[in-house]
């Protein structure tokens, strides 16, 4: 490469690396200006639905290709963009709220952005909430596709009365409104996970423009946010049973009708057995009336035609005493066997989804309580047998010693009589 060619390539590289200055020029025949309420804030252009807007991007380094992207809302992840078109300008005809957002013009090294604000209900994006059961804290949000956040007024209609939740006293923790950094979200507090008093349903978020000079004829912007929850489910009852004895598990739930309960049994008879799921009672099963354990008629008790050991009933005393509108489904197995060991799951379905609770049943043999006593008795018998054998051996040793004592005495006497004779012979 010649020196001139090298210098040319180096100059081209420097020009590519130098950041250009980009500008966006908006052009529209309508619109109005609003600020965020402070006197020093820069006013933003707002467009009415149906108006047109052209954004022209210029650079002090002409010739570089330009590309447009759009971030849907201000607090969204910048990586989530809607690809626009290549070129110096973007034209939005018959603009709608869904066209709003932050339009970014880039040449690869530099970028500049312009926020398009559209005074339209679609510029409020409701975030509906569906929870799995009742949470203590639930947050409802209305995202705003504006350059700044307006305060939100949250309302809820109960019957014929509309309540402004912003007006709740500070010591009432049922509803609280977040600040600008939280997007003015609505926080709902369910005491101790209690579903009732019922707070699910529809809420309205509306822009509070009391600090802004809105042109006459503009309608206030609002959207509906829905908060729903699947049923709350828990299981009370026994966790173990003995063979040939009854087993009862009570599924307690709220937020669903009485006939929307399903019981599934997962067999777990041994660690080397393959678990099997068995649907004991399905949502659409037809149950037949049957007598209770005492043999008397019970209108709440229903049995399975193919498995008369299994029946369902209700705990009316618990339902009547419940202050949170709870229902019950009581699973009753009249005569348990070792094959009934496993997990019992209660599924409850509502219009908003399904929730479940489970319990594990351990089955013991009815003679299992005797085995410890038999073991203790066997230990006592073994101990007595050992004591008996030890005593018998000791007595036998004593008898042998007593039998040897006369022989030892005779030998001593013979020795004693022989000693004088020896002494006489020695004197002679």
The CA distance from 73 to 106, in Å, is 18
- What is the reported pLDDT for 40? 60
DSSP state of 377: H
What is the pLDDT at residue 275? 62
pLDDT confidence of residue 9:
52
Give the span between the Cα atoms of 155 and 166, in whole angstroms: 8
Whether 156 contacts 163, CB under 8 Å: yes
Q: What is the pLDDT at residue 178?
A: 92
Q: Which pLDDT belongs to residue 139?
A: 96
Closest CA to 118 of 134, 140, 136, 95: 95
Asked whether the beta carbons of 263 and 361 are under 8 A apart, the reply is: no
d(Cα 147, Cα 101) in Å, to the nearest integer? 8
> Which of 220, 213, 226, 208 is closest to 32 using CA atoms?
213
Q: What's the pLDDT score for residue 274?
A: 58
Provide the pLDDT for residue 277. 80
CA distances from 336 to 138, 142, 291, 332, 409 (A): 43, 54, 18, 10, 78
What the chain holds in terms of domains, given with CATH numbers, is 17-119 (2.60.40.10), 122-229 (2.60.40.10), 232-364 (2.60.40.10)
- Pairing assessment for the beta strands 310-313 and 22-27 based on DSSP bridges: unpaired
Say whether the peptide bond before residue 121 is cis (omega within 30 degrees of 0): no
Taking CA atoms, 111 is separated from 2, 69, 308, 318, 385, in Å, by 36, 10, 74, 66, 98
31 conformational bin, left if phi > 0, alpha if psi -120 to 50, beta if neither: left
Give pLDDT < 70 ranges for the chain: 1-19, 37-41, 73-86, 170-172, 269-275, 293, 368-369, 404, 406-428
pTM as predicted: 0.74
Output the pLDDT for position 80.
45
The helix, strand and coil proportions of the chain, stated in percent and rounded to the nearest 5, come to 25, 40, 40
Strands 240-242 and 353-364: parallel
pLDDT, tens only, 164-187: 999 877 666 789 999 988 889 999
**Which residues are paired to 207 by β-bridges?**
152
Q: How far apart are CA 73 and CA 125, in angstroms?
A: 9
Q: Which of 164, 74, 53, 167 is nearest to 125 (CA)?
A: 74
The pLDDT value recorded for residue 372 is: 79
3-state SS string over 171-196?
A: CCCCEEECCHHHCCCEEEECHHHCCC
Give residues with Cβ within 8 angstroms of 191, minimum separation 6: 136
pLDDT of the residue at 365? 81
């Amino acid at each position: 490469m010649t020196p001139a060619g090298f210098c040319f390539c180096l100059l081209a590289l420097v020009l590519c690396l130098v950041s250009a200055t980009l500008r966006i020029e908006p052009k529209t025949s309508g619109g109005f200006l609003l600020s965020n309420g402070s006197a020093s804030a820069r006013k933003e252009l707002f467009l009415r639905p149906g108006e047109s807007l052209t954004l022209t991007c210029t650079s002090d380094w002409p010739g570089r290709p330009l590309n447009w992207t759009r971030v849907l809302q201000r607090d969204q992840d910048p990586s989530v963009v809607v690809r626009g078109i290549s070129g110096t300008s973007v034209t939005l005809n018959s603009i709608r709220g869904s066209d709003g957002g932050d339009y970014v013009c880039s040449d690869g090294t530099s970028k500049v952005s312009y926020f398009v604000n559209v005074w339209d209900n679609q510029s409020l994006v409701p975030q509906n909430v569906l929870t799995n059961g009742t949470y203590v804290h639930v947050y409802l949000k209305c995202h705003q596709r504006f350059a700044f956040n307006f305060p939100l007024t949250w309302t809820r209609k109960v019957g014929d009365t509309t309540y402004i939740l912003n007006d709740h006293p500070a010591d009432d923790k049922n509803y609280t409104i977040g600040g600008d950094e939280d997007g003015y979200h609505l926080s709902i507090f369910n005491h101790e996970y209690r579903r009732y008093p019922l707070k699910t349903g529809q809420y309205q978020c509306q822009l509070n423009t009391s600090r802004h000079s809105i042109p006459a004829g503009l309608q206030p912007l609002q959207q509906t946010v829905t908060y729903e929850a699947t049923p709350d489910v828990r299981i009370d009852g026994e966790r173990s049973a003995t063979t040939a004895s009854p087993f009862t598990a009570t599924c307690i739930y709220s937020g669903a009708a009485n006939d929307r309960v399903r019981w599934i049994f997962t067999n777990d008879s041994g660690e080397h057995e393959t678990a099997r799921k068995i649907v004991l009672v399905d949502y659409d099963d037809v149950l037949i009336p049957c007598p209770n354990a005492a043999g008397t008629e019970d209108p709440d008790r229903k049995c399975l035609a193919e498995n008369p050991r299994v029946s369902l009933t209700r705990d009316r005393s618990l339902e009547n005493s419940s202050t949170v509108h709870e229902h019950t489904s009581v699973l009753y197995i009249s005569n348990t066997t070792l094959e009934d060991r496993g997990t019992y799951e209660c599924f409850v379905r509502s219009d908003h989804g399904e929730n479940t609770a489970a319990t594990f049943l351990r089955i013991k043999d009815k003679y299992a309580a005797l085995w410890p006593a038999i073991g203790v008795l066997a230990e006592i018998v073994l101990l007595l047998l050992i004591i008996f054998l030890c005593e018998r051996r000791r007595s036998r040793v004593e008898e042998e010693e007593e039998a040897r004592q006369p022989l030892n005495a005779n030998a001593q006497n013979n020795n004693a009589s022989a000693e004088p004779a020896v002494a006489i012979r020695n004197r002679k």
